[in-house]
């Protein structure tokens, strides 16, 4: 899949301009574990997914749990390493640099829009 641009259509803000898609089993297993950091504008969309962990990660992340229509169900800001977060109703998860949720005022109920960059 191509690089994604992800916008919060509800707030009129951009969450990521260079998001990758974890669209294979291998990509979902590895996620961001091999990264040293996650620069502003980048992200990782994991689908399908209803739970993530940050064991072995080197940096905190912001996390959005989304339903099939890409509506935000749950937010987790500045999630530190060695944690687990779950949303049993989620279809996918968007991992973003720490601070992205606050910068874009993203909250549960917001509608996201994905497009190829």
In degrees to the nearest 10, what's the CA dihedral of 94, 95, 101, 104? -60
Structure-token match 């060695």, residue found: 82
pLDDT tens per residue across span 48-74: 999 999 999 999 999 999 999 999 999
Structural domain including 19 reads 4-116
Q: DSSP code of 99?
A: T
Question: Could you give the residue ranges of the DSSP H alpha helices within 1-117?
Answer: 25-30, 100-104
- Domain count for the chain, please give it: 1
Q: What is the CATH classification number for the domain harbouring 38?
A: 2.60.120.1140
Indicate the pLDDT class of residue 32, thresholds 50, 70 and 90.
confident
pTM of the model: 0.94
pLDDT tens per residue across span 15-24: 999 999 998 8
Structure-token match 């549960």, residue found: 108
Cis peptide before 16 (omega within 30 of 0): no
């Amino acid at each position: 899949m191509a690089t994604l641009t992800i916008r919060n259509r509800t707030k009129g803000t951009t969450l990521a301009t260079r998001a990758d898609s974890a669209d294979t089993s291998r990509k979902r297993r590895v996620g961001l574990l091999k990264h040293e950091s996650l620069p502003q504008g980048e992200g990782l969309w994991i689908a399908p997914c209803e739970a993530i962990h940050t064991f072995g990660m080197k940096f905190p992340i912001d996390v959005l749990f989304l339903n099939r229509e890409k509506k935000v169900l749950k937010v987790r800001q500045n999630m530190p390493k060695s944690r687990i977060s779950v949303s049993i109703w989620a279809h996918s998860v968007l991992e973003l640099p720490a601070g992205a949720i606050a910068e874009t005022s993203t909250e549960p109920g917001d509608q996201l829009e994905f497009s190829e960059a």
